[in-house]
Amino acid sequence: MRLATRANGTPDGELIVVSADAARCLSAADIAPNLLAAIERWEAVEPMLLARADLVAAGQGEPLDPALLRAPLPRSWQWLDGSAFATHGELMQVAFGLDPIDSERPLMYQGLSDRFLGPHDDVPVPDAALGIDFEGEFGVIVDAVPMGTSAAEAARHIRLLVQINDWSLRAIAPIEMKTGFGWVQAKPACAVAPFACTPDELGGEWRDGRVCCDLAIDWNGARFGRPNGAAMAFSFPELVAHAARTRDLVAGTIIGSGTVSNPDYATVGSACISERRAIEIIAEGNPRTPFMSFGDRVRMEAVTQQGATPFGVIEQTVVAA
């Protein structure tokens, strides 16, 4: 099942169910007014949403207007982003001159959650000199997770999967990292692809608690990378359990994988500019690739082995705030 949020003049939008080919949709506002309300009552509303999805699959529904689609959750209670790809962490240590970090436990920070940019929203930045960078990743949306939930138990709390562009301002990031506190200025609002999928929608490419799809990324029309999400050192259930160790997780919490990164980056490329710059530092002693400028465009699309694009496309332009 694929769910989306259609703009309707309210902060949280209208919940809709979308066909597999993204051509048709049916409103689910009579079941739950928006996706946040649905995830808060997931066990009660899921059967009704699945029945609505069957109607869409049978050919019912109205044409889907992509221009009206917002982030599946335009805002939520909590956004927690991990860094679960070991290769990315190792390369970032090179890029920022950092000491090795304990890899026995997941890395995670709490970010901005009062807004998520839609898949085609412009990205406003106050200064082009701030090191504007995209970061392609995957994420999960959970229902209510009790404190102390184990990784084995956490798997059943993962209700939806999403694709994310976690925007970063790299000129600020090392300054904030050295304080020992979390990011604030270096992490503006994320963007989310239009469709949130139930795990079964991915078939065999949701396995071992990982989204095992390629993430195809183009920068200004040129292919930048196509890493695969299977290489996570920690699975999503492990990330959920880590986040819930000392707190309950409210329904609607989004947990990200961190930047998708593969050991064979020389072949598949990267999901962020900073990683490519680190690779250049290792190979040549200095980075060559600049960060983004106003007017630059980035496109991200997860692709299955069968060529399906379950989450749809994020395509955004960086603009002066």
Taking the alpha carbons at both ends of the chain, their separation in whole angstroms is 36
Which DSSP symbol is given to 250? P
Q: Beta strands of the chain (E only): which ranges? A: 2-6, 14-18, 24-27, 62-63, 79-82, 108-111, 123-125, 132-133, 136-142, 158-165, 168-169, 191-192, 196-197, 206-207, 210-211, 214-219, 222-225, 254-256, 297-303, 313-320
| Angle CA 186–192–198, to nearest 5 | 135
Looking at residue 78, its pLDDT comes to: 97
Identify whether the C-beta of residue 302 lies closer than 8 Å to the C-beta of residue 310: yes
Indicate the pLDDT class of residue 103, thresholds 50, 70 and 90.
low
For the structural domain made of 79-320, what CATH number should be given?
A: 3.90.850.10
Indicate the pLDDT class of residue 240, thresholds 50, 70 and 90.
very high
Looking at residue 102, its pLDDT comes to: 62
Write down the mean pLDDT value for the chain: 95
Indicate the pLDDT class of residue 319, thresholds 50, 70 and 90.
very high
Stretch among 80-84, 162-166, 291-295, 300-304 having the lowest mean pLDDT? 80-84
Domain assignments of the chain as residue spans, ordered by start: 2-68, 79-320
pLDDT tens sequence across 18-39: 999 999 999 999 999 999 999 9
Looking at residue 105, its pLDDT comes to: 83
- What torsion do the CA atoms of 178, 179, 184, 186 make, to the nearest 10 degrees? -20
Looking at residue 115, its pLDDT comes to: 97
Looking at residue 275, its pLDDT comes to: 92
Looking at residue 167, its pLDDT comes to: 98
Looking at residue 175, its pLDDT comes to: 84
Looking at residue 10, its pLDDT comes to: 97
Stretch among 45-49, 276-280, 287-291 having the lowest mean pLDDT? 276-280
Looking at residue 98, its pLDDT comes to: 67
Is residue 113 scored above 80 in pLDDT?
yes
- pLDDT, mean of residues 92-104: 69
Looking at residue 292, its pLDDT comes to: 98
Indicate the pLDDT class of residue 69, thresholds 50, 70 and 90.
very high
Looking at residue 276, its pLDDT comes to: 94
Looking at residue 173, its pLDDT comes to: 86
Looking at residue 87, its pLDDT comes to: 82
Tell me the pTM.
0.96
Is residue 95 scored above 70 in pLDDT?
no
Looking at residue 92, its pLDDT comes to: 75
Quick one: what percent of the chain has pLDDT higher than 70? Answer: 97
Is residue 265 scored above 80 in pLDDT?
yes
Is residue 73 scored above 70 in pLDDT?
yes
Identify whether the C-beta of residue 166 lies closer than 8 Å to the C-beta of residue 190: yes
Higher pLDDT, 311 or 182: 311
Looking at residue 100, its pLDDT comes to: 66
User: Smallest Cα–Cα separation from 22: which of 44, 38, 6?
Assistant: 6
Place of tokens 């880590």: 242
Contacts of 219 (CB under 8 A, 6+ apart): 134, 273, 292, 296, 297, 298
Looking at residue 198, its pLDDT comes to: 98
Orientation angle between helical segments 86-96 and 273-284, nearest 10 degrees? 70
Stretch among 103-112, 191-200, 228-237 having the lowest mean pLDDT? 103-112
Sign of CA dihedral 86, 90, 95, 97: positive
* Dist. CA 13–CA 29, nearest whole Å: 10
Looking at residue 267, its pLDDT comes to: 94
